[in-house]
Amino acid sequence: MSRTVSFVIAAAAFAAAGSVFAADFGTAAEAKAMLDKAIAALKADKAAALTAFSKGEGGFKDRDLYPFCGGSDGVFTAHPTLTGKNMKELKDKTGKALGEEMYKTAQEGKVAEVAYMWPRPGATDPVQKVSYVTKVGDQVCAVGYYK
């Protein structure tokens, strides 16, 4: 009997720990909701929105979720660390030209997915990441989540 109780307690503790770990990272639904919010912000005031995205202000940074954008020339206009670099030249850790794919995929009024391998913030080993991508005016914007 005590062995069964110990097993149940251990299983509950493991499940709780897994829930806490999962809560450390954004979900697909949260990434999509942040992109929707970013689209609205860009339409309301592009300059203010791009600044907020880069600084992670106004609810545009949540754990590992943040919006990022590139202009028509391919240069990042908003990103926590890559602003000013060329988004079109961005490749994942396997060599996939994810920046080019985002630019080819992005369409005004539509949201599409681009999958690639990228390390989580603070890590070096790449894992599967999916970014929701769209175009708003001259901006290609995305919010990605890790699987």
pLDDT tens-digit readout, 103-140: 999 999 999 999 999 999 889 999 999 999 999 999 99
With respect to residue 17, please indicate whether it lies within any of the assigned structural domains. Answer: no
Q: What is the pLDDT of residue 16?
A: 40
pLDDT digits (tens, 9 = 90+) for 2-40: 454 444 344 444 444 444 455 899 999 999 999 999 999
Helix/strand/coil (H/E/C) assignment for every residue in the chain: CHHHHHHHHHHHHHHHHHHHHHHCCCCHHHHHHHHHHHHHHHHHCHHHHHHHHHHCCCCCCECCECEEEECCCCEEEECCCCCCCEHHHCCCCCCCCHHHHHHHHCEECECEEEEEEEECCCCCCEEEEEEEEEEECCEEEEEEEEC
Domain-embedded: residue 39: yes
Q: What's the pTM?
A: 0.83
Provide mean pLDDT across the span 33-59: 98
Answer yes or no: is 103 within a domain: yes
Is 117 a domain residue?
Answer: yes
Cα separation of 70 and 46, whole Å?
12
CATH number at residue 81: 3.30.450.20
How many domains is the chain partitioned into structurally?
1
User: Residue 95 falls within a domain, yes or no?
Assistant: yes
pLDDT, average across residues 83-108? 96
pLDDT tens digits, one per residue of 76-86: 999 999 999 99
Sole residue written with tokens 């603070």: 122
Give a yes or no: residue 68 inside a domain: yes
Tell me, what's the pLDDT at 93? 87
Residue with the larger pLDDT of the pair 113 and 1: 113
Query: Residue 23 has what pLDDT?
Result: 81
Domain that holds residue 47: 26-146
